[in-house]
Amino acid sequence: MQLSRDELLGAYRRMATIRQFEERLHDEIKTGEIAGFTHLYAGQEAVAVGVCDHLTVEDMIVSTHRGHGHCIAKGCDVPGMMQEIFGKAGGLCKGRGGSMHIADLSVGMLGANGIVGGGAPQAVGAALAAKLDGKGRVAIAFSGDGACNQGTTFEAMNMAVVTKAPAIFVFENNHYSEHTGDAYAVGTSKDIASRAEAFGMRAWRANGCDYFDTYETMRELLDYVRAGNGPAAIELDTERFYGHFEGDPQRYRGKGEVDRLRDERDCLKAFRARVGAAKLLDAAELDAIDAEVAALIDASVTEARAAPAPDPATVAEDVYVDYY
Amino acid sequence: MAIMTIRDAILQTLHAEMERDPNIMLLGEDVVGGNGTAGGPEAIGGIWGTSGGLYAKFGPDRVIDTPISESAIVGAAAGAALAGKRPVAELMFADFVGVSLDQIWNQIAKFRYMFGGKTKCPAVIRLIYGAGMNTAAQHSQSVYAMLTAMPGLKVVLPATPADAKGLLTEALRGDDPVMFFEHKAMYGVKGEVPEGDYRQRFGEARMVREGGDVTIVACGRMVNFSEKAADKLAADGIGCDLIDLRTTSPLDEEAILDSVEATGRLVVVDESPPRCSLAADICALVATKGFTSLKAPPELVTGPHSPIPFARELERAWVPSPQKIEAAVRRVLAR
């Protein structure tokens, strides 16, 4: 393992932040204070963090409608995200976007997306911009097993190959597109990476419930893309602990499925076990991080709850830079 | 001032602006035209002749031939714009908006608003539109009304070579997404074009002529047709105010309302089907904000509520013509 203690602590902090952010939202949504749709990412933390830990703010990502984890991993402000989800004026997008449309271009987060499959072509455009600049930046499209069936994703893969864009297609297979299983909806026998290969790019596969496997595989992939070899793809086998949206009763899940996944495929538990067994970090250090993160999330919720709502008079502002 | 066609005005503007701003990149199907074939790159230089020579000058990172993938073309323009570039994407036929509509109206049009005003998306989508070349129902439409209805987009329709230069320059230097409509039957239209740096602000209609008896509002190719009608009417002593909107979003409401206040009569010419059209929108504007100026009900000159047909005789029957505009003016004056 090549990671330093600080890097390990940082990775755990980011994964724990996503987990606690999501667990807390799951509770807060029951109070009725959060409007609209919220799609939780809990269970998939190793993917967002394992991918984004390699990136700088100059690198760009486009996200999905399950975007909180990608936002946090890429460095979006957590209290600002919480305010956004509570629909407050001080939110990261001034309450205009909500959970599905969080973006912060200053950290290279080009936006979550309410349209499944909407992001992949945008990542190709961002990658073409990066190629024109010639500074070795990359653009990453996070897509789920649902988005991998959209034509936009196919078009984007082909165009990325044709133009040798430094675009990376991260296929995050959590095995459910909305309420439908990948065994049914993904025609290539549950395998997404082979589609990328069919478009003429190299594809990797990794365990998306294992931070270390994700991180190390991404290192290899990024070395390849940053060397100017054009686009690449990775399929990550991961799990979603909550429903498609909050309030989804998940009748399509097998009996005891989520409990079993939380026992056997929890990336945070796996991380703890790995660093403990290797005597890299001790449990007390990780517990301390959990406590710090809990305080941050708690403060974020308290602040968001008390924050002012947007002024209705501003409803039509920010449509254009200028309009005359 | 140089005399040139709309085609040359667009090509020269793209060339000059790409030279001025290294962030401008061009992408679309066959904008180079020949990549991967025996003839080699730039064998075509763009099927409309509006990008010839740009590849040789600016290279493959700035002039990008794409596969036939309209969603990816417009989506890539969206992503490049978010990444700090000024992409110009060409949709070879505006009808292909249908293939790429999500990227236009759910993505490009909404980024700034959804992200709380903290970003901009300066993408220019060039859409080649219009009837008159027997290109039938899927290659002839004027979809500017539909895009005008989408908040977040600016919609531009030059009717002269000078405006082609001035409006395209403005589009390339502005910070909002622009839908730039070029009529496929107008590329050969010639006119004077100002030399050097020339910008035409959006939202400023052009008063093509003042006649005082009736107001004709038009855009794109319908401006040229309306001029022909106005010439005929002038011979009979009927004076037309002719307003070329130049941009339908933003819309120069003041120019329309001021003219209708003076003439009391309105004819709107729109190369679209009638329902929920630009003509209907302008009629609603005058009905709500200028009703007391009206001396007669307005006339709307549009195609019928049908797709655009192929056969010459049918297409001629579909498209608003100078004769139909002239007849509408005479009707509105007779009331």
pLDDT for position A2 = 80
Most A-contacting residue of B118, B150, B154, B176 (CB-CB within 10 A), to test interface: B118
Q: Do A105 and B78 touch (CB under 8 A)?
A: no
State whether the Cα torsion A270-A271-A272-A278 is positive or negative: positive
Cβ atoms A192, A135 nearer than 8 A = no
pLDDT for position A1 = 58
Is pLDDT of A320 > 70? yes
What residue type is assigned to position B192 of the chain? Answer: E
**Confidence band of A324 (pLDDT split at 50, 70, 90):** confident
B98-133 pLDDT tens trace: 999 999 999 999 999 999 999 999 999 999 999 999
How much is the average pLDDT of A227-235?
A: 97
Q: Do A60 and B83 touch (CB under 8 A)?
A: yes
Check if B305 is active-site. no
Instruction: Give B304: exposed, middle or buried? Use CB within 10 Å, 0-12, 13-18, 19+.
Output: exposed
The Cα–Cα gap between B26 and B76 comes to: 11
Q: In the predicted model, what is the mean pLDDT of chain B?
A: 97
Which residues in chain B are contacts of A60 at CB distance < 8 A?
82-83
Q: Do B72 and A158 touch (CB under 8 A)?
A: yes
**DSSP-derived pairing of the beta strands B299-301 and B266-269:** parallel
Is pLDDT of A297 > 90? yes
Instruction: List the single residue in B with minimal CA-CA distance to A111.
Output: B115
Is pLDDT of B225 > 70? yes
The CA-to-CA distance between both ends of chain B, in Å, stands at 43
Is pLDDT of A38 > 80? yes
Alpha-carbon gap: A12 to the closest alpha carbon of chain B (Å) = 29
Which residue in the set B69, B80, B119 is minimally distant from A105, CB to CB?
A: B119
The Cα–Cα gap between B151 and B38 comes to: 44
pLDDT for position B303 = 97
Of A1-5, B63-67, B137-141, the range with the lowest mean pLDDT is: A1-5
- Tell me the residues of chain A between 201 and 240 that have a Cβ less than 8 Å away from chain B: none
Residues 6 or more apart from A251 whose CB is under 8 A from it? none
The Cα–Cα gap between B129 and B142 comes to: 6
Cβ atoms within 10 A of the Cβ of A308, count?
Answer: 10
B290-325 pLDDT tens trace: 999 999 999 999 999 999 999 999 999 999 999 999
The Cα–Cα gap between A119 and A87 comes to: 23
- DSSP labels, A128-149: HHHHHHTS---EEEEEETTGGG
Q: Do B118 and A122 touch (CB under 8 A)?
A: no
Q: Do A103 and B112 touch (CB under 8 A)?
A: no
Q: In the predicted model, what is the mean pLDDT of chain A?
A: 96
From residue B94, alpha-carbon distances to B70, B103, B128 in Å are 11, 14, 5
Q: Do A125 and B82 touch (CB under 8 A)?
A: yes
Closest CA to A72 of A28, A116, A25, A34: A25
Is pLDDT of A190 > 80? no
Contact pairs from chain A to chain B, CB under 8 Å: 165
**Confidence band of A220 (pLDDT split at 50, 70, 90):** very high
**Confidence band of A128 (pLDDT split at 50, 70, 90):** very high
Closest CA to A87 of B151, B117, B116: B116
How much is the average pLDDT of A32-58?
A: 97
DSSP state for residue B250 in the 8-state scheme: S
- DSSP labels, A217-237: HHHHHHHHHHTT---EEEEEE
Q: Do B79 and A97 touch (CB under 8 A)?
A: no
ipTM: 0.94
The Cα–Cα gap between A37 and A68 comes to: 13
The Cα–Cα gap between B68 and B81 comes to: 21
pLDDT for position B208 = 98
Read off φ and ψ for residue A179, nearest 5 degrees: -115, 10
The three-state secondary structure class of A30 is coil
Read off φ and ψ for residue A158, nearest 5 degrees: -65, -45
State whether the Cα torsion B322-B327-B329-B330 is positive or negative: positive
**DSSP-derived pairing of the beta strands B190-193 and B299-301:** unpaired
Place of tokens 């390339």: B172
Q: What residues pair up with A176 in beta bridges, in sequence order?
A: A181
Which residues in chain B are contacts of A97 at CB distance < 8 A?
114-116
B233-282 pLDDT tens trace: 999 999 999 999 999 999 999 999 999 999 999 999 999 999 999 999 99
Read off φ and ψ for residue B312, nearest 5 degrees: -50, -50
Angle at alpha carbon of residue B270, lines to B268 and B272, rounded to 5°: 145
Read off φ and ψ for residue B188, nearest 5 degrees: -90, 0
Read off φ and ψ for residue A39, nearest 5 degrees: -115, 115
Residues in chain A: 324
Instruction: List the single residue in B with minimal CA-CA distance to A140.
Output: B79
Alpha-carbon gap: B244 to the closest alpha carbon of chain A (Å) = 16
Cβ atoms A193, A235 nearer than 8 A = yes
How much is the average pLDDT of B65-89?
A: 98
Closest CA to A120 of A60, A204, A188, A189: A60
Does the beta carbon of A123 lie under 8 angstroms from any beta carbon of chain B?
yes
How much is the average pLDDT of A12-25?
A: 98
The Cα–Cα gap between A147 and A151 comes to: 9
Is pLDDT of A179 > 80? yes
Cβ atoms A64, A144 nearer than 8 A = yes
Percent of chain A with pLDDT over 70: 100
- The pTM of the full predicted model, rounded to 2 decimals, is 0.96
